[in-house]
Amino acid sequence: GTFSQEKWSPTNPVRFKVGSSTVLSQIVQMVSQAQRSKAPMQRMADHVAGWFVMVVIAISVLTFFGWGVFGPEPSWVYGLINAVAVLIIACPCALGLATPMSIMVATGRGASNGVLFRDAAAIENLRKIDTLIIDKTGTLTEGQPSFDKVIALSGYEENEVLRLAASLDQGSEHPLADAIVRAARERDLVLSRPTSFESGSGIGVKGELNGQQLSLGNTALMEQLGISVKAFVPEAEKLRAE
C-alpha cells in the first residue's frame, strides 16, 4: 500500500502485507476452504453412500455366483456381465457427487458476485433465514459516495461552483473529493490546478486558484474562517434527510 497527502506528490511504496497475508490471498483461501468443507446434507449423503456401496457390492457378488451356478452356459460369463451391470446401474455416483458439486458452484458464483461463504453449512442454512442483517457501507452500497447536485447561491452558476470545487479537490484523497472531481469531469468542465493546497484533517481543504483563495469543507472549517453558514443549515438538513 502507499500513503500520500496529495495525489500528485511522489510516493514511496511500503509493503504492509505480502504473500498469504494479503487480502486477496485470504479471499482465495476462504473460497477454497468453503469448497472443501462439508454441509450437513453432504455428510449424511456420504454416510448413506458408504453403506449403499457395500450393499451394491454384496448384491453384485451374489449376482455373479447366482448366474455362475444356476445360469445357462456360459454361466460364469453371464455372471460377470450381470455383476458388472449391477455395479454400473446401482453405483451411488449421483448421490456422492451432487452435493459437493452444488457447493462448489455456489461458492464460486458467490465469490464472483462479491459474496464469500465461510463454510458449506452456511449455504445450506440460507433456506432457513427469515431475517438478514447486513452492514450497509460497501456491502449494500458501492462503498464510495456519488455526487448529486449543486445548490448555488444567488449570483453564482452551478457549473462554475462545481468547477472551482473540483479544481481544488484534485489535491485531496477524500472519497467526497473524488466524487466531486468525477462529477465535474462527467460534465466536461475544464479544471485548473491550484497554486497552493492545504488539507485539514476531517474538516476540508483550502488553496489558491487563479489568484483567489478558496475553501471547501464542513461547518467546522467555515467557523475557523469566520464564515456564517446558519442561513444554509435548513437546506442542508433537508438534503441530509432525503
Encode burial over 143-173: b for 16+ CB neighbours within 10 A, e otherwise.
Answer: eebebeeeeeeeeeeeeeebbbbbbbbbbbe
Can you give the pTM of this predicted structure? 0.46
In a domain, 84, yes or no: yes
**172 and 120 together in one domain:** no
**162 and 123 together in one domain:** no
**169 and 102 together in one domain:** no
In a domain, 172, yes or no: yes
pLDDT at 135 over 70: yes
The range of the structural domain enclosing residue 86 comes to 40-127
Q: What pLDDT is recorded for position 12?
A: 60
**117 and 77 together in one domain:** yes
In a domain, 230, yes or no: yes
Residue 130 among the catalytic residues: no
In a domain, 105, yes or no: yes
140 class by beta-carbon count within 10 Å (0-12 exposed, 13-18 middle, 19+ buried): exposed
In a domain, 103, yes or no: yes
**Domains of the chain: total:** 2
Q: Which CATH number fits the domain that encloses residue 188?
A: 3.40.1110.10
In a domain, 34, yes or no: no
Across the range 20-37, mean pLDDT stands at 72
pLDDT tens digit sequence for 55-95: 888 988 999 888 888 888 888 888 899 889 988 888 777 77
In a domain, 149, yes or no: no
**97 and 171 together in one domain:** no
Q: What pLDDT is recorded for position 5?
A: 45
Share of the chain above pLDDT 70, in %: 86
Per annotation, catalytic residue among 46, 135, 169, 188: 135
In a domain, 145, yes or no: no
